[in-house]
Amino acid sequence: MAMNRRNFLKAGAAGLALSTLPNYAAEFADQKKRVGLIGPGWYGKCDLFRLIQVAPVEVVSLCDVDKRMLAEAADMVAARQASKKKPRTYSDYREMLKEKDLDIVLVETPDHWHALPMIAAIRAGADVWVQKPISVDVVEGQAMLAAARKHQRVVQVHTQRRSTPHLIEARDSIIKEGKLGKVGLVEICCYYQMRARGNPPDTAPPEYLDYEMWTGPAPMRPYNSLIHPRRWRAFMEYGNGIVGDMCIHMLDMVRWMLDLGWPKRVSSSGGIFMDKTGKSNISDTQVATFDFGDLEVVWTHRTYGSPPDPKYPWAATLYGDKGTLKASVMSYDFIPQGQGQAIHKDVTYELEQYPEDKTEKDLEKHCAPAIRGHWKNFLSCVASRGRPVADIEQGFISTTSCILANLSMQLGRTLTWDPVKGQVAGDDEANRLLRRPYRSPWVHPEPTQV
């Protein structure tokens, strides 16, 4: 039967509409969750836009203390989500959460602002996606874990190596199939320049930034252009240095790959050995040993010189009696001991399935599939009420281990961790450092009061 022009145009429009629908996974097509994001900066938007790609969520709320960043994010969200609606905007996360109308909350703030918003979101009835490391001090992490369990919320920590396709393959086809044999040593490393360089003068904060609220419970430093946006990681007041930023990813990946729990002992040494004139106060050189009994995981970072293996500047190398596995965000290489077939695999990209990845500003394209996989795991657990692959307890273990490394470097001695008591065995000085002072009027969260 001939098709008249009007019906042809209707069919063409319908086909075009179908062709431009997001590539939702079938199992999430009915998950029309209401979403709020606290901290729509660089990675906050990266994570949120990956969620929009995999499920028909409605982003209804954004919160940030930077007015310019907030307004830009609201426009971008309206352009990206199916409804084209602009989300409500807030400068105070407490006002956003008072609405109690959010199913999912993303906490994408600087590290010093993870604990209080995460616990508040849980109390408001939301399931939570929280950036790594989960906390700046150990007691914060204990309170976050206690809150998740008490209120029975699903919490996914953004240690997305657990959802990286080629790393899942390496775990399943190399490690689980016994190709490495017994693993006795793992070296993890980062040789990137991670410290803010230079020594610009302190200034008044820009008018669009509420610096008092940005600082929150952290110590008040004079405002400096090195701090905001994105370079706050160069200051220990807001995080845990390169160990808290980069080591946690690789340590968590190794723990997941080898099914490891708590390290028995943690030791570390290092400091600022090279760049002594800049304002940044995180270490530029550090070695940490995480002792799991019959296996040691040894971290090294330095912000100068060349990496030993240019292909693996931020990576883990697992040494077994049958072979060696090198693994990073970009690839993995299995090198057998003696006879056997070497195996190489590069990162998986999904640029054709998700073409917006090609043009999105500041997106780490190699990480996008991992973030989508992490979201799919989280959404499955939201539906089943199960625990996700990067459950808050796993994030707490990896975070605390890294904090202990910094405390060991600070104190100059090995720390023995007691996971039952949640403290360092026989070390009162170290235990006092498990809780940082909070700046008034903010109150430190307690595991017994969540």
pLDDT in tens, 117-175: 999 999 999 999 999 999 999 999 999 999 999 999 999 999 999 999 999 999 999 99
d(CA 211, CA 213): 5
pLDDT digits (tens, 9 = 90+) for 326-351: 999 999 999 999 888 999 999 999 99
What confidence score (pLDDT) does residue 25 get? Answer: 67
DSSP conformation class of 21: S
- 72-89 pLDDT, tens digit each: 999 999 999 999 999 999
Q: What is the pLDDT of residue 306?
A: 96
CB–CB of 29/57 below 8 Å?
Answer: no
Backbone phi, psi, residue 283, to 5°: -65, 145
Mean local confidence (pLDDT), 241-260: 98
* Of the candidates 9, 53, 41, 61, the residue with the CA atom closest to the CA atom of residue 376: 53
Superfamily of domain 165-348+393-426 in the CATH hierarchy: Dihydrodipicolinate Reductase; domain 2 (3.30.360.10)
197 band by pLDDT with thresholds 50, 70 and 90: confident
Copy the structure tokens of residue 212: 């008092």
How is residue 334 written in tokens? 């299995």
C-alpha to C-alpha distance for 292 and 418, rounded to whole angstroms: 13
Query: pTM for the full model?
Result: 0.94
pLDDT at 312 over 60: yes
Residues 2-61: tens digit of each pLDDT: 444 444 334 443 333 333 446 676 778 778 999 999 999 999 999 999 999 999 999 999
What's the mean pLDDT when you consider all of the chain?
94
Burial-class residue 45 by CB neighbours within 10 Å (0-12, 13-18, 19+).
buried
Q: How many Cβ atoms are within 10 Å of 145's Cβ, its own excluded? A: 23
pLDDT of residue 24: 74
Dihedral, 299, 302, 307, 311 alpha carbons, nearest 10: 60
pLDDT of 18 = 36
Between the CA of residue 212 and those of 141, 205, 219, 342, what are the distances in Å? 24, 10, 10, 55
**Is the pLDDT assigned to residue 272 strictly greater than 50?**
yes
Name the amino acid, one letter, at 60.
V
What's the distance, Cα to Cα, between the start and end of the chain in Å? 68
- Region 383-397: mean pLDDT is 98
- In our burial notation (b when 16+ CB lie closer than 10 A, e otherwise), range 14-27 reads eeeeeeeebebbee
pLDDT top residue among 200 and 257: 257
Domain ranges of the chain: 165-348+393-426
What number of CA atoms fall less than 13 Å from residue 186's CA on the CB side?
29
pLDDT at 254 over 80: yes
pLDDT-derived band at 196 (thresholds 50, 70, 90) equals: confident
pLDDT, position 211:
98
In the prediction, which pLDDT does 23 show?
65
For 403-437, give the DSSP string: HHHHHHHHHTS-EEEETTTTEETT-HHHHHTTSPP
Mean pLDDT of 241-246: 97
The dihedral of CA 22, 27, 30, 33: what is its sign? negative
How high is the pLDDT of residue 12? 41
Residue-level pLDDT at 3: 43
